[in-house]
Amino acid sequence: MGQTLAKKRAFVTGGGRGIGAAIALRLAREGADVAITYVSRPDDAHKTVEAAQENDVRALAVQADASDELALTAAVEHAADVFGGIDILVNNAGIAVIAPVDEITLHDFDRTFDVNVRAVFVAIQAVLKHMPNGGRIINIGSCNAERMPFAGGAAYAMSKAALKGLAQGLARDLGPRAITVNNVQPGPVDTEMNPADGEFAEMIKGLMALPRYAHADEIAAMVAYLAGPEAGFVTGASLTIDGGFTA
């Protein structure tokens, strides 16, 4: 099978490492030019770019905090200028602040919403000016939108649940342009921030039908499907890939 995303142009927020890097590299393997944003650790971001370029595609990294609307919009404009447009937007950047409701600060609450929800909307508005009909918008949510089985995750769960409603509403707005909008809800994924051998891993595995963490490439595969031609009739959906965490 040939590359399903040849000549497409993708923009991935938070693509320097973890799930975002896996998504960027999978899209590049499918033939898409890829721009990623990162906040810190530029070496990781540039390694992702170099790995993407091994697929004979264009790739670039732009430093931009997703919560900074001016920086995020400028990053979108730069990528669109370099690539000549954007066909695929993946809103992957996110944060998790876990704290009891009587201890979490309003600053942490606001930043959770700013990065996990507001930034998604900002990026979508910025990209739409550069996205042709038939484009793809994919937001990375969380299975915690459906199930939060331990205390302290209310703000995070709220922010990820908001992405479900956003995808449904925007699917209606953008349907006339054949632009699909979908929400991917991963379960536990083995990354540096949430390792499969971490402090809470065994407890989490005990909540799952498949008692293991996902590989980031498994999440990237779902994103690649939604970005590809076979998913043209999928929109407004929240697709859960969580090993049965919410089963």
Residues carrying an active site annotation: 156
DSSP run (H or E) holding 36: strand 33-38
Dist CA 2 CA 6 (whole Å) = 9
* Sheet with 136-140, side-by-side order of all strands: 59-63, 33-38, 9-12, 88-91, 136-140, 180-186, 238-241
Dist CA 60 CA 204 (whole Å) = 36
Give the count of beta carbons closer than 10 Å to the beta carbon of residue 206: 9
Q: What is the DSSP letter of 114?
A: I
Token match 């919009």: residue? Answer: 73
Output phi, psi for 89, to 5 deg: -115, 125
Please count the CA atoms within 13 angstroms of the CA of 123 that sit on its side-chain side: 35
DSSP run (H or E) holding 172: helix 154-174
Dist CA 60 CA 58 (whole Å) = 7
Q: Are 113 and 66 in contact (CB under 8 A)?
A: no
Q: What is the DSSP letter of 233?
A: T
Q: How many helices (H) and strands (E) does the chain have?
A: 8, 7
